[in-house]
Amino acid sequence: MKKYLIIFAPLVLLAGCSSSSTWGWYVINPMTPSGWINVKFLISGMWATILISVIAAVISIGLGLIVALPGLAASRGWRVLNRVYVELIRSIPLLPMLFWVFYGLPIIFREMGVNIPIDPFWGAIITLAISDSAFTAEIYRAGIQSIAKGQTEAAQTIGLNYIQTMRYVILPQAIRRILPPLANQFIYIVKMSAFASVIGMQELTRRANELVVTEYRPLEIYSLLILEYLVLVLIISAGVRWLERRMGSDERS
């Protein structure tokens, strides 16, 4: 609990400056009617941030596994495919990738004669999911590789095929090494989802930007914005730690 107090102390200090005339905490003072409207406006972006992050994470968790499996294959060709994907995606900064998906991809679709519009919501999700999948793929690969080769061999000798071996033997054992880092990766997605603001997605950061334009109180509004992310990430971190403890205690049994 002390740790949380230390984290919040600077914000409390900032708020303490409200008496000075250069400060304008009134813009986000929930006690006043106009301040309350502003606070509600800012916090209402939370749902979009959470929704984008959760959907992107779910896609990334599936995509990461599909990318990781060729990386574990015996044949060199499959492994090269995995390396190219991971290295390529890892080296593209998120913002250019977001622009490419949002402004570029629709042109490719149009050329192909299919009409798939990409709105800010799905543009952000696709970008976050693809960008994150390179990392989740590496998490899967490390987790699966940590399971001894003898397990795969034993599964093969009792006639299980590749998918059955993964499904019933390898993944259930690897999951305790995979789940905590995957959950950690979710924090990365939540933070990166702020970039969705630049393509017009009405999430936390976009809301703050819009309010700054009309109120011109960047310090106060962005302070609240940071606080919002902080709360979100702290909640997820607590979840990750809970998961790590649970997985750890499983291992001992």
Partner 1 sequence: MTQAAIELHNVNKWFDTFHVLKDINLSIQPGEKVVICGPSGSGKSTVVRCINRLEEHQKGTIRVDGVELNDDPQSVAAIRSEVGMVFQQFNLFPHLTVLENLTLGPIKARGLSKDEARAKAMHYLERVHIPEQADKRPAQLSGGQQQRVAIARSLCMEPKVLLFDEPTSALDPEMISEVLDVMVELAQEGMTMVVVTHEMGFARKVADQMVFMDAGEIVEQGSPEAFFGAPRSPRCQKFLSQILQH
Binding site for partner 1 (CB under 8 A): 148, 150-151, 153-161, 164, 168-169, 172-173, 253
Q: Which lies closer to partner 1 via its Cβ, residue 126 or residue 166?
A: 166
Q: What is the dihedral of CA 59, 64, 70, 73, to 10 degrees?
A: -130
> Whole-number minimum distance, CB 167 to partner 1, in Å?
9
HSE on the CB side for 45, CA within 13 Å?
25
Q: Which lies closer to partner 1 via its Cβ, residue 29 or residue 173?
A: 173
Q: Which lies closer to partner 1 via its Cβ, residue 22 or residue 253?
A: 253
Q: Which lies closer to partner 1 via its Cβ, residue 32 or residue 164?
A: 164
Number of H helices, E strands in the chain: 12, 0
Task: Give the Cβ contact number of residue 83 at 10 Å.
Answer: 12
Q: Which lies closer to partner 1 via its Cβ, residue 119 or residue 153?
A: 153
Q: What tokens does 50 get?
A: 């959470």
Q: Which lies closer to partner 1 via its Cβ, residue 177 or residue 217?
A: 177
> Whole-number minimum distance, CB 109 to partner 1, in Å?
38
> Whole-number minimum distance, CB 148 to partner 1, in Å?
8
> Whole-number minimum distance, CB 223 to partner 1, in Å?
48
> Whole-number minimum distance, CB 160 to partner 1, in Å?
6
User: Reduced to 3 states, what is the DSSP secondary structure of residue 98?
Assistant: helix
Q: Which lies closer to partner 1 via its Cβ, residue 108 or residue 154?
A: 154
Of 2, 3, 24, 27, nearest to 14 (Cα)? 24
Q: Residues 190, 235: contact at Cβ < 8 Å?
A: no
Q: Which residues contact 10 (CB under 8 A, 6 or more apart)?
A: none
Q: Residues 230, 49: contact at Cβ < 8 Å?
A: no
d(CA 148, CA 138): 18
Q: Which residues contact 103 (CB under 8 A, 6 or more apart)?
A: none
Q: How far apart are the first and last CA of the chain?
A: 30
Read off the amino acid at residue 252: R
d(CA 196, CA 231): 19
> Whole-number minimum distance, CB 152 to partner 1, in Å?
9
> Whole-number minimum distance, CB 177 to partner 1, in Å?
13
